Amino acid sequence: MKPISRILLCLLLCTGATRVCALPRDNTPVPGGIAILPLPADVSPATARYNGRRVLVTRQKGRRVAVVGLALGTKPGRHRLQAQTRSGKSVSIDFTVAAKAYAEQRITLKDKRKVNPEQQDLKRIRREQKQIRAALEHWSDGDHVVTEFRKPVSGPTSSPFGLRRFFNGQPRSPHSGLDIAAAEGTPVAAPAPGTVLRTGNYFFNGNTILIDHGQGLVTMYCHLSKIDVRPGDRVHTGDIIGKVGRTGRVTGPHLHFGVSLNDARVDPLLFLPATPANATAAGQ
């Protein structure tokens, strides 16, 4: 095995079938980040839960670890992972989440309905949000969970993860993904193996694809001009799944790339190689 840079902080698992990156890069659990928690040897992996949800469990240096996604709304302080031993004994693993401040972004949109939707729009939005939530909550068992992602499209970061956003001066939910600027029609590639969960055209997100990578790891691709896959399709790293567009709530062509782990939206940069371009984006 080739040596792996400490800058990347990525470890290959050589004792089990699953491969995973040691994330995040600074190993500090923060809102929008992840926590990597060693598990006792006798813990049953299927019982590991955080806030009532199953979490990804894999092996790292021969030891089982839980990889826990932390939502942007996670409060700093003490948190707890619950599990059970194979004999049925309850186990609690405490960890600390540090505070993290994210920058603000103010965006002006000409289409006022994308800021203050009309009543007919709200019915559509509620229906679509239910569909998207169901996909993001999806769980599938799998031994081969790849989290060393390839960047789905080349281009600079136009909006980093976690921004506190204001549309036409009105506060909205923080930015839950990474926006990558690219020309309309630029091919978008699958960053890792997975199965297409859902595709659709949504009021805010435009043409969208959601891919299941296993054990609660789901990725999302929004504002596409074209969708080249269907639900149920199996994709491999590098497969073209669609093309960059400007559908939905946008000011220009770009890809919104989102990563969800145990139904928590986390920073996609944690799953991408620490290239100079990505390192610059992380510092924004």
Where does residue 238 fall: left (phi above 0), alpha (psi -120 to 50 degrees), or beta otherwise? left
Q: Looking at residue 149, what is its pLDDT?
A: 94
- Between 26-30, 78-82, 213-217, the lowest mean confidence (pLDDT) is in 26-30
| Residue range 206-212: mean pLDDT, rounded | 97
Higher pLDDT, 17 or 61: 61
Task: Set out the domains of the chain in order of their start, with CATH numbers.
Answer: 104-282 (2.70.70.10)
Quick one: pLDDT band at residue 8, thresholds 50, 70, 90? very low
What's the CA gap between 265 and 198, in Å, rounded?
Answer: 17
Q: Can you give the pTM of this predicted structure?
A: 0.84
List of long-range contacts for 277-282, beta carbons under 8 Å, 24+ apart: 277/156, 277/157, 278/151, 280/157, 281/156, 281/157, 281/160, 281/178, 282/25, 282/160
| Residue range 174-186: mean pLDDT, rounded | 92
Cis geometry, peptide bond prior to residue 40 (ω within 30 degrees of 0): no
Quick one: pLDDT band at residue 143, thresholds 50, 70, 90? confident
In this predicted model, what pLDDT tens digit does every residue of 237-274 receive, in sequence order?
999 999 999 999 888 899 999 999 999 999 999 999 87
Q: Looking at residue 144, what is its pLDDT?
A: 78
Q: Are 203 and 243 in contact (CB under 8 A)?
A: no
Q: Looking at residue 200, what is its pLDDT?
A: 96
Q: Looking at residue 120, what is its pLDDT?
A: 84
